Amino acid sequence: VPLQDAEAAAEELERAVQVNGMVGVQIGANVNGMNLDDPSLLPFFQVAEKLQAPIFIHPDNVPALDRIPRYNLRNFIGNPLDTTIAAASLIFGGVLERFPNLKVCLAHGGGFVPYQRGRFARGFKVREEAKLRISRPPDDYLSRMYFDTVIHFEPALRYMVETCGARRVVMGSDYPAAMGDPEPVQFVASSRLKEEEKKLVLSENARELFRLDLKT
């Protein structure tokens, strides 16, 4: 991706938010296979931070296809994998360190990140390559991210809320994908989460993330 594309994207984001009143933007978990920590993309993230526009990251053009050609594993594994690589690139690649107020929301319950975050933390402790572009442990950057609820398993929803924080989980539907949750409100409402947690996940977090009270 040539530099001017990221700058054009940043300009379009600015127009969408300031002229058209959009509350945020969705991007792919990679740009034609290029990870999100590529320096050419910095202008985009800079403008997103300035606008306080949340970025929703959804998989696209997933990796490892040679190993997941069958049984639709391309979706079941490839999609959360792509999101995981995006999150790790933003964390270890220093994007979240450089833009501390960037608001990032990960699709599908954050891919594989919430469950294996201890592996990221352990890696930062024992492997020098993990410290190339960041000064603090990965959990410090991870704790600023948001996660949608499209995880299809109630204990995983509770785990997400327990470990990422009730203020970091936002109801998602993945509509109209077949792999989405056809009853996303019910999924949260019927869970064993506390009532105040359900309220946050179902409405308050989105109001704050998308700054809905400041609009209209």
Nearer to a copy of itself, 52 or 163 (CB): 163
Element housing 126 (H / E): helix 113-126
For residue 110, which of 56, 166, 35 has the smallest C-alpha distance? 56
The 10 Å CB-count burial string (b at 16+, else e) for 25-37 is bebbbbbeeebbb
Q: Which residues of this protein are in contact with a copy of itself, per CB under 8 A?
A: 30, 33, 35, 37, 63-64, 66-68, 70-73, 75-77, 80-81, 84-85, 88, 92-93, 108-109, 111-112, 114-123, 126-127, 129-130, 132-133, 151-153, 155-156, 159, 162-163, 178-179
Residue with tokens 């600015």: 14
Closest separation in Å from C-beta 30 to a copy of itself: 7
Other C-beta atoms lying within 10 Å of the C-beta of residue 207: 13
CA dihedral of residues 150, 154, 155, 161 (deg, nearest 10): 60
Closest separation in Å from C-beta 37 to a copy of itself: 8
Nearer to a copy of itself, 45 or 112 (CB): 112
Closest separation in Å from C-beta 142 to a copy of itself: 11
List the structure tokens of 90.
Answer: 């933003």
Closest separation in Å from C-beta 160 to a copy of itself: 9
Nearer to a copy of itself, 67 or 207 (CB): 67
Nearer to a copy of itself, 160 or 200 (CB): 160
